[in-house]
Structure 1
Amino acid sequence: MVSLHATPTAKRGRVRALLLTVALASFSACYTPSERPIYLTDEQGREIVLHGVNISNAAKWDPLGLAWHTEADYERLGGWGFNAVRLLLFWSVLEPSQGAYDDAYLDAMEERLDWAANNGLMVILDFHQDLYGPAFTGDGAPAWATFDDGYEFTRVEPWWLNYLDPAVRAAFTHLYHDDWLTDAYADAWAHVAARLGSHPAVIGYDPMNEPYHANENLFTFEADVLLPFYQRVTEGIRSSDPDARIFFEPVPFPTSSGLPSGLPVFGDTNAVYTPHYYEPLVHEGSFYHQNAALVAAVIAHKAWEAEQHGVPFVLGEFGAHAGGVGHADYLRDLMTALDRYAAGWTIWSYDKGRAFALLDTNGDETDLLDAIVRPYPQRVAGEILRHRYFPAARILRVEYATVAGVDAPTEIFVPKARLYPRGFSVESSDPDGAWSFEFDADREVLRIWHDPAQAEHVVRVLPS
């Protein structure tokens, strides 16, 4: 593990999305962070900002639980400034029969971790599920771990309405409340951690993608059910990887639409808060309301929640339906909001030709990438104070404070070929001659050595 420390149906759906968008505005501005954000740090003490991607939706439909990516596709991520991957794994592929693990599957996952390490990518292992498992046309749990209480499942559209099906809800209820089944889930994680936890690319584990409340009381689920479930799964993971970092999520509905979580304080600082956010109208492929202040308020609240947990904030999933109006504007506003807290993120997803895909069917970039690829500080030799990128002017401003003993350079991704084809200049508030920089043109990474005699530093990157 990397050493880091801290149709009619559619129309109805759009109406619901609009109502939800209006409703969340009254909640999201209730709280804002009051303290300096907490960051992951590397072995040299530098604060880390993660920009990355989910790999991938295509893996859900592959019987092998993998996808089309090769090492060259992992290498491509660096050109977008990505330094992180949220890598999907599936319980049904790992343990198709109870107690019988498919280690060939983990061999394939290890190969992908090698690709990540070779390209400077940090990986979050995500036990992914949608609609509990394949039994309900989703992904996640194997057949032997699926108990529907005799309900007959009938698929409906859109896909996410299937979460309301009694059979799906029963399956989740059994997972949360049948001790032997919870233990089996934790044991599967322990097997993954034993095999992959020591890999240098791995920085942590996401115990369950979007844990659904099913038949539980939505208002008490996170405290009474989800938190104990997380604690048991964490025990399993740490039985194999004692230093494992847990990337935990709140209940997806309603938090993924921007409403607050009710999860009590996680109680474990070797963790990262990784909620999801899909603006309802954008998610449904409708339109972006162009209310940047609302988006900023949602992110501020999620940052506040991370503060309450005492852990860093990484937005684990977000995206934009490319068929909607104003989707690129939405992503730019979201990036600005996340930059305010130097929050990490992993976008959905590194796929081809789907609504949320970063690539078209030919594997060429979509305009989604133009909205999210920007300069940003990847590793900061000190305490990040403020960080902002101004897209129209293509100016990045990073402010940070000196921390004694942190001698490695600050590293800033600067997409020269994409944004600065005529070059860029670098300015520092440090005295002339007391600071220096170099630019790695292959990686498009700017390294800055600051003046340690200065308490604070302001660095600007701007077009030549």
Structure 2
Amino acid sequence: MRSKFRLKTAVTALLCAATMAAGGATAVAAPAEPGDGRLSTSTSGAPRIVDDLGRTVLLRGINVNGLGEYYQEFPDLDPTMPLTEADFAGIATQGFNVVRLIMSWSLIEPQRGVFDHSYLDKIAQATEWAKAHDIGVILDMHQDAWGPAVATPDGVSCPAPLATSVGWDGAPAWATATMGGLATCRLADSREVSVVVQQSFENFYNDVNGIQGEFIKSWEFVVRRFAADPTVVGYDLLNEPSPGLSVGINDYLRLGAMYDRLIPAIRAAEASVPGGFSHTAYFEPSVASSLLPTPGPATGSAGSAGSSGEPRFTSDPNLVYAPHIYNESLPLAVGSIESGFAAAAKAAEGYGGTPFFSGEWGFFGDDASNPEKVARYAAQEDAYLVGGTWWQWKQACGDPHNVQHRENRPDWCQAGEFGEFESFPADSPIRAILSRAYPRAVPGELTAIRADVPSGALEVEGVADRAGVSADLWVPARCAVPEVSGTNIGAGTVRSVAGGSRVSVPVSGAGEYTITVAC
């Protein structure tokens, strides 16, 4: 759902910070704490993501699409950039602790019933790189406008107000509806509005020829590989599902029925692996949800697993509601940034009080370098105590988001160049906002965040359930000498890392605490 835009050339990364003990106290190593980093969700008290120490975890990061399969319109313009360990090193310098790693059904199951282990090897390598840089991974089953095979064929002219389509990413060709050349024509400003895209989704929801069942098998194949891996912090089940031909029905009933079927299958696949455990399932509403009276999906709908007495997806204890808060950025996301967060919070409460997380956000076109909206968005993240992942790390010249229509060659870059976050200059105010200080993990419940973007300072409040657990805070390099003070805390320690500092602060006892990092 991203439009074409121009970005400046990247320059140098941020400076490393100094390290010193906090608040005049003697620096001592934080006590070793048990735990393997597994994350789950808790609805005891405020809904939140927690680690195995019971700490509230904020996931703040970025989308990475280097392992996705995108349609390629121009042979000399690659649709993605190669993914290397250097990307994860660069991501870590911004203080990000999670990547939403795009993977493609078309590469997982390129032929029906044939699953590609070599593709999972690439995902596993990326996960190892992430682990080496203390970054978690959300595996994202990504699609945009169904898949690569929806492109308008050569020689087909689309009558106004329609336009030719490029292909996108997601489903394999064998799972795509075949409707003839004109069925691929799209509304000029909406990639999803073509007959072939919506008929493909209709077939998916109705499991025509067992297509939905194959999608579930693909997820089972992925899950069995990563079932025991705590670096994988969650599964994003399906990116931006479209409503198909039944708007207001598929968005609620059939999308919910698909989740009712998919999540128990994932749990069974996890349980089949020695050491496998429940990973958080990130579930998205329909891409058109902001246009509907209430967001979907429904659970336990007619024809779903839930209606026959089997588990409904919302009875699973490890869920995160994961809308894409693109308000004031993209047309389908109506309303303000503030109303987008309010709607997400309300919807999450309706799903039994799940946490919520914005799997994608960002600003494009004329707003691509507008820090005012980014700052307002960041303020809402801090106010709601939630995380999210910016779209995106690198966006290649040949990405369909830039091309949009057949033979529409982007004129803003050459082969091998790219845009998005990594192309922002080092002094970009957007970099400063996104790399602001935040609590990666804090004991008990987090109750307040106040981050000062210019200085890098941070104030955190929380309520600990016990003593002896430490907060883990990110502070950017512009806060060159972090000094820690607060209430109900012990001496903090500051460790210099690329791009900033990691500040560890033990909480002395159960109850309320405050942590202030001054610069």
User: Which of 471, 475, 483 is the matching residue for 1:410?
Assistant: 471
Q: Distance in 1 between matches of 2:323 and 2:437?
A: 24
The answer to whether structure 1 residue 436 and structure 2 residue 491 are counterparts is yes
Q: What TM-score do you get using the length of structure 1 for normalisation? A: 0.82
Shift of 1:448: 0.4
Unaligned 5+ runs, structure 1: 7-34
Map Cα deviations across residues 389-445 of structure 1 (whole Å, 9 max, x no partner).
Answer: 2335654221111212x6331011011x2x223x23222023xxx621000112611
Partner of 2:3: none
Contact 2:71 2:168 in 1 (8 A): no
Correspondent of 1:79 among 93, 110, 116: 93
Deviations 1:6-31 (A, max 9, x none): 1xxxxxxxxxxxxxxxxxxxxxxxxx
Q: 1:52 aligns with which of 52, 61, 85?
A: 61
* Match runs of 1:261-340 below 5 Å: 261-264=295-298, 266-280=314-328, 282-283=329-330, 294-309=336-351, 310-321=353-364, 323-324=366-367, 327-340=370-383
Within 1, Cα distance between the matches of 2:244 and 2:448?
40
Tell whether the 8 Å contact from 2:457 to 2:475 is kept in structure 1 after alignment.
Answer: no
In structure 2, distance between residues paired with 1:122 and 1:65: 25
CA positional deviation for 1:141: 0.8
1:377 paired to 2:432: no
Displacement of 1:198 after TM fit? 2.2
Show the counterpart of 1:358: 421
Report SS of the residue matched to 1:412: strand
Which amino acid in the other structure matches residue 357 of structure 1?
A: E
User: Structure 2 residue aligned with 1:103, among 107, 117, 123?
Assistant: 117
Deviation string 1:288-336 (CA, Å, 9 cap, x unpaired) is: x9x9xx4223212212222222222111000111642772111111011
Gaps of 5+ in 2: 1-35, 73-77, 151-166, 272-277, 300-313, 403-418
Change (3 A) 1:75 1:339: same
Specify the alignment match of 1:61 in structure 2.
70
Q: Which amino acid aligns with 2:458?
A: L
Range that drifts further, 385-394 or 298-307: 385-394
Query: Contact 1:113–1:201 (CA<8 Å) still a contact in 2?
Result: yes
Identify the residue that residue 284 of structure 2 maps to in structure 1: 249
Give 2:48's match in structure 1, choosing from 32, 39, 44.
Answer: 39
Partners of 2:367 and 2:50 in 1: CA distance: 37
Deviation at 1:2, TM superposition (A): 5.1
SS at 1:457 equivalent: strand
List per-residue Cα deviations over 1:95-138 (Å, max 9, x = no partner).
11111111111111110011111111111111111111111111
SS of the counterpart of 1:439?
A: strand
Asked if 1:420 is matched to 2:479, the reply is yes
Question: CA 1:65–1:240 in structure 2 vs 1: closer, same or farther (change >3 Å)?
Answer: farther
CA gap of 1:217–1:383, structure 2 versus 1, over 3 A, is same
CA deviations over 1:231-253 (Å, ceiling 9, x no partner): 21223322311423210001111
Cα distance in 2 for partners of 1:201, 1:258 equals 36
Once the 2 structures are TM-superposed, how far is the Cα of residue 340 of structure 1 from its aligned partner? 1.0
CA contact under 8 A between 1:275 and 1:315: conserved in structure 2? yes
CA deviation string 1:208-266 (max 9, x = no partner): 10010021132x333311101112122332231142321000111143x8985143463
Task: Tell me how far apart the structure 2 counterparts of residues 387 and 460 of structure 1 sit (CA, whole Å).
Answer: 10
Correspondence for 2:506 among 405, 427, 449: 449
Asked if 1:174 corresponds to 2:174, the answer is no
- 1:396 is aligned to 2:458: yes
For 1:320 and 1:132, the matched residues in 2 are separated by 23
SS of corresponding position for 2:320: strand
Q: What is the DSSP-based 3-state SS (H/G/I as helix, E as strand, rest coil) of the residue aligned with 1:250?
A: coil
Q: In the alignment, is the contact (CA less than 8 A) between 1:37 and 1:341 conserved in 2?
A: no
Cα 1:66/1:240, change in 2 over 3 Å: farther
**Matched ranges for 1:205-244 at <5 A:** 205-218=235-248, 220-242=249-271, 243-244=278-279
Q: Assess if the C-alpha contact under 8 Å between 1:2 and 1:122 holds in 2.
A: no
Mapped partners of 1:318, 1:260: distance in 2: 21
**Post-superposition CA distance 1:72-105 (Å, at most 9, x none):** 2102212111000111110111111111111111
CA contact (8 A) 2:475 2:502 kept: yes
One-letter code of the match for 2:388? W
Whole-Å Cα distance in 2 between the matches of residues 413 and 322 of structure 1?
31
Q: Which residue of 2 aligns with 1:125?
A: 139
Aligned with 2:177: secondary structure? coil
Contact 2:67 2:103 in 1 (8 A): no
Matching residue's letter, 2:421: L
Which structure is richer in relative contact order (CA contacts within 8 A, separation 6 or more)?
A: 2
SS in 2 for 1:109: helix
1:213–1:251 contact (8 Å) kept in structure 2: yes
Partner Cα distance (1:209, 1:100) in 2? 22
Give the CA deviation at 1:69.
2.1
Deviation at 1:62, TM superposition (A): 7.6
Which letter does structure 1 place at the counterpart of 2:449? H
User: After alignment, is 86-95 or 150-159 more displaced?
Assistant: 150-159
Query: Within 2, Cα distance between the matches of 1:162 and 1:62?
Result: 13
Task: Report the number of matched residues.
Answer: 416
2:222 to 192, 195, 198: 192
TM-score for both structures, normalised by structure 2: 0.74
The offset of 1:447, in angstroms, is: 0.4
